[in-house]
Amino acid sequence: MNFLDHVVVLLIAIPILVAALMVIIRPFPNIQKWLNLTVSIVLFILSVHLFMQVWNNGIIVYDLGNWGKYGIILVADLLSSGMVALSSVITFLALLFSIDYIEKKSLNSTYHSLFNLLVAGLNGTFLTGDLFNLFVFFEILLIASCGLLIANEKLEITPSSHKMEAVYKYLVLNIVATLFMLIAIASLYATVGTLNMADMAAKIALMNEEGTLPWHLIPTALLFMVVFGNKAAIFPLHFWLPDAHPTAPSPVSAILSGILIKVGAYGFIRFYYLIFEGNLSVFQPIIIFLGLATIIIGSVSAVGQDDIKKVLAYHSIGQIGYVFIGIGMGTAYALAASIVYLMNHAISKSMLFLVSGCIVHKIGTRDMRKIGGLSSSEPFLGLMFLIGIMSIAGLPPTSGFIAKFVLFDAGIDGKFYIPVLIAVIFSLFTLFSMFKSWQRIFWGEIKDNVFDDTHIHENSHMMLLTLVIMAIIILAIGLYAEPILAITIETANQILDPQAYIDAVLEVEVR
């Protein structure tokens, strides 16, 4: 057995150990940031290796302690390994952007420790095979994300009172969701006598066949919908996100929007299609309705905003709604479309938050009423912002066009005409709002506002390089989508037929 045989657990263990190490080397910020970047590259390589192993050899089960289904199980299938790889891409690029951004903004040195803790929480959430450890990793995510939201910026633009209000709202809502999650886990455990998701799925499937499925699993499922809906910021649990994004440093906003809210979508897919094997058909229209309501609320709310990061935050809410429409439709094509959309949103919205970070870095304000005519002085940022909004709006030749086309085509193919029509209509709101923001910032009247010099900096080559990489990814997927579509369709088929996942886990023997 070699080093790479342990890649599943290393993707969680390495960032946890590095998070602890970062606390020890706090007096050496230069060592911190370059070590963090090196570790991020290593994690990216390991995540790609894991995905290729799963793609070539099938589902990988890592048994910690040799207790089989009774102990801690980590499971890498196409969905979980793909999410880890996507997470590694976004976190690496956000960190690359942070290298100079943090130095200029004088972020507290605990940033690097919290960053690694967040990465560990994300990887653990995607790879865990039991509900209890899913709860544990959710708590790690909560601690790390709260810490990053209140990261100490000496040159912070957001007033401290607004920052603490946003964090308080986020914290309270997640504590309530945590309570709901514990109740739901206890209910499931009392019913099936296990916390292992594969074992749970097998026992619930047997109960369903025998007609002995207890009635209280319906309210239990509703509690899980609240928990995952809160993580995903879908309607009506979306209100924490528009305050959290402007509060957070731009690289943190990129991770929050790019990956963290996708945890909720992942939870929905894993819970609905694995544990209940898609048998709770009563929830299909509910999920579609929540997706549509989220699209409407996010798209309409973004139109009247003047804060560039609030515009992007509301569009993050709206865009996650499209993912949930595909999840609710439940066909292989629709699920594949949701995964493509999820991936596109992760990259495109992360890029837009980083571009907004460059604008704030350069100009010293997020208020679009005080910004205008930047196309003459910052044409590169104008181009990067344009590519990002084209992708979010679903225009060719970007990855967003592929994502929306496949999702709408899947909806029409599944005869979900009304949801598709509503989604198309409110896509126009996204198009209008995003291009309006682009016009105000880069082509509007040049303002004479003079901002405090402490808020104004030049954007470094490292920050701009990050944007170039993300733009290339967006255009590459848009122009060469066939390999991505093949992977997502295979992933969707594996989700809809969870027996391979169940068998892989339950075949692990207690030793």
User: Reduced to 3 states, what is the DSSP secondary structure of residue 118?
Assistant: helix
Q: Where are the alpha helices (DSSP H) in 237-331?
A: 241-247, 250-255, 262-270, 284-303, 308-329
- The full set of domain ranges for the chain reads 3-507
pLDDT value at residue 366: 81
pLDDT value for 409? 92
pLDDT tens-place string over residues 408-456 = 999 999 899 999 999 999 988 888 888 888 888 888 666 655 454 445 5
Q: Could you write out the DSSP letters of every residue in 119-162?
A: HHHHHHHHHB-BHHHHHHHHHHHHHHHHHHHT--BTT-SS-HHH
Q: What is the pLDDT of residue 511?
A: 47
CA atoms of 498 and 453, how far apart (whole Å): 57
64 DSSP β-pair partners: 72
Q: Are 249 and 110 in contact (CB under 8 A)?
A: no
Per-residue pLDDT tens digits of the chain, which is 511 residues long = 566 678 999 999 999 999 999 888 888 878 888 899 999 999 999 999 999 999 999 999 988 866 666 778 899 999 999 999 999 999 999 999 988 776 654 455 688 889 999 999 999 999 998 999 999 999 999 989 888 887 655 444 555 556 777 788 888 888 999 999 999 999 999 888 888 898 888 888 888 777 777 878 888 888 999 999 999 989 888 888 888 877 888 888 899 888 888 999 999 999 888 888 766 567 888 899 999 999 999 988 888 888 888 889 999 999 999 999 999 998 899 999 999 999 999 999 999 999 998 888 778 778 788 887 777 778 888 899 999 999 998 898 999 899 999 999 999 998 999 999 999 999 888 888 888 888 888 886 666 554 544 455 667 788 889 999 999 999 999 999 899 999 999 999 999 888 888 888 888 655 4
Total residues belonging to the chain: 511
Q: Note whether 355 and 459 are within 8 A (CB).
A: no
pTM: 0.91
Burial of 169 (0-12, 13-18, 19+ CB in 10 A): middle
